[in-house]
Amino acid sequence: MSRLRISEIFFSLQGESRSVGIPTVFVRLTGCPLRCGYCDTAYAFKGGAWMELEQILRDVAQYEARHVTVTGGEPLAQAACLGLLEILCDHDYQVSLETSGALDVSQVDPRVSKVMDLKTPGSGEMAQNRYANIESLTAADQVKFVLCDEGDYQWAKRQIEQYGLARRCEILLSPCYGRQDPTELAQWVLRDRLPVRFQLQLHKVLWGDVPGR
């Protein structure tokens, strides 16, 4: 079977997206071509261990959960990620994929819920956005903006309008941890009546910046 380099597999509450709060198994793949200024998983850029898909499935199964999130790093940087997503769906897991939006998502199994970033100017990686991916998003998917300041917020508003994102999928707005005041962002969303889901990172509220939580 195909192999993947895995940084960690752990069990926690989903901290983001529409399934926030649900007990979830996280499969974190090693490696990422981006270097966002606010990245909180730089430890996953290197290292990890090679695992066969069969072994990954065994590790996931031990937690007896129905939800699995494949994340990184950037999971799609490893070609065998597509096979992992497919086999997880075949085993009747509710599967989500957290992706930077810099790599092609068109071949992702349609049973997977894609949670795709659009990188803001404040991330330092806006040039890596692959806007063609928007055509592959459906109502089952979500597009996420991590906002560092009001400039990022205004930029996100323009993207939402330009690409008709509210008609295509759910939109997530997150304040960058330690950089954008959450209450201020919430007030902007209400003031402008944006068709979005405001979200905080639940895992950071509960555990701070502890890796693997």
Look at residue 60 and tell me whether its pLDDT is greater than 90: yes
Look at residue 45 and tell me whether its pLDDT is greater than 60: yes
Return the pLDDT at 90. 98
For the beta sheet containing 23-29, the strands, ordered from the edge strand earlier in sequence to the opposite edge, are: 49-52, 3-13, 23-29, 67-71, 94-99, 113-117, 142-147, 170-175, 197-198
Buried (b) or exposed (e) across 16-38, using 16+ Cβ within 10 A?
A: bbebbeeebbbbbbbbbebebee
CA-based R_g, the chain, Å: 16
How confident is the prediction for the chain on average, in pLDDT? 95
- The whole-angstrom separation of Cα 99 and Cα 19 is 16
Look at residue 9 and tell me whether its pLDDT is greater than 90: yes
Look at residue 209 and tell me whether its pLDDT is greater than 80: no
Look at residue 146 and tell me whether its pLDDT is greater than 90: yes
The token duo for 73 is 């790093």
Contacts of 184 (CB under 8 A, 6+ apart): 175
Backbone angles phi, psi at 72, to 5 degrees: -150, -145
Backbone angles phi, psi at 88, to 5 degrees: -65, -45
pLDDT band at 155; cut points 50, 70, 90: very high
pLDDT band at 64; cut points 50, 70, 90: very high
List the domains of the chain with CATH numbers. Answer: 3-207 (3.20.20.70)
Query: What is the pLDDT averaged over residues 3-23?
Result: 94
- The whole-angstrom separation of Cα 203 and Cα 213 is 6
Look at residue 54 and tell me whether its pLDDT is greater than 60: yes
